[in-house]
């Protein structure tokens, strides 16, 4: 976690979509299993790309990245809002089922990458932060193989309308 904001010039450029990492992801990593340093694509959904994070400190931690570069939810068209939040609901349901999660926490932050994306963070009974958010970056925990988590989430997703 960084303690200072990036330069204002850099921030303004990112908000405009210049040199935006998530625009790149949305344009190039739509295929199942597409990989970058941060994760693997689970599925291309209606308005977002669903990705499993490589850091699985919280098992099942995924992100839903808007296909279109917007910074805030109010920049979506009404139709995009419906689609994005429907994607988010389906993804949350699938992850709950695939991981037997107790609860799903959602966070839309974007203070370092101002391209709309939601963090989907499953919560488990007995986890170390019952009355507060859990930081999925508390530790880095990488898996030897992501095949099974990807398969489980896709199988659950396929059952959810």
Q: Does 17 bind Zn ion (CB under 5 A)?
A: yes
Nearer to Zn ion, 69 or 119 (CB): 69
Shortest distance in whole angstroms from residue 19 CB to Zn ion: 9
Residues of span 19-78 touching Zn ion by CB under 5 A: 20, 22-23, 69
**Are the beta carbons of 49 and 87 closer than 8 angstroms?**
no
Number of helices (H), then strands (E), in the chain? 4, 5
Q: Does 90 bind Zn ion (CB under 5 A)?
A: no
Cα separation, 22 vs 57, in Å, equals 22
Contact window for Zn ion (CB under 5 A) among 3-11, 12-20, 132-140, 145-153: 12-20
**Helices (DSSP H) in 16-146: which residue ranges?**
21-28, 78-99
Cα separation, 60 vs 52, in Å, equals 7
132: its two tokens: 């507060």
Shortest distance in whole angstroms from residue 42 CB to Zn ion: 19
> How many chain residues bind Zn ion (CB under 5 A)?
6
Residues forming the site for Zn ion (CB under 5 A): 17, 20, 22-23, 69, 115
């Amino acid at each position: 976690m960084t303690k200072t904001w990036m330069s204002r010039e850099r921030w303004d450029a990112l908000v405009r979509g210049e040199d935006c990492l998530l625009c790149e992801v949305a344009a190039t990593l739509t295929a199942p299993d597409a990989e970058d340093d941060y994760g693997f694509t689970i599925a291309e959904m209606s308005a977002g790309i669903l990705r499993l994070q490589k850091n699985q400190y919280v098992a099942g931690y995924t992100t839903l990245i808007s296909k279109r570069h917007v910074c805030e939810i109010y920049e979506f068209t009404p139709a995009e809002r419906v689609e994005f939040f429907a994607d988010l609901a389906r993804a949350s349901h699938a992850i709950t089922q695939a991981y037997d999660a107790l609860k799903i926490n959602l966070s839309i932050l974007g203070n370092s990458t101002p391209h709309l994306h939601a963090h989907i963070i499953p919560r488990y009974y007995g986890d170390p932060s019952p009355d507060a958010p859990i930081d999925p970056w508390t530790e880095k925990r990488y898996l030897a193989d992501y095949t099974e988590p990807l398969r489980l989430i896709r199988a659950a997703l396929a059952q959810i309308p």
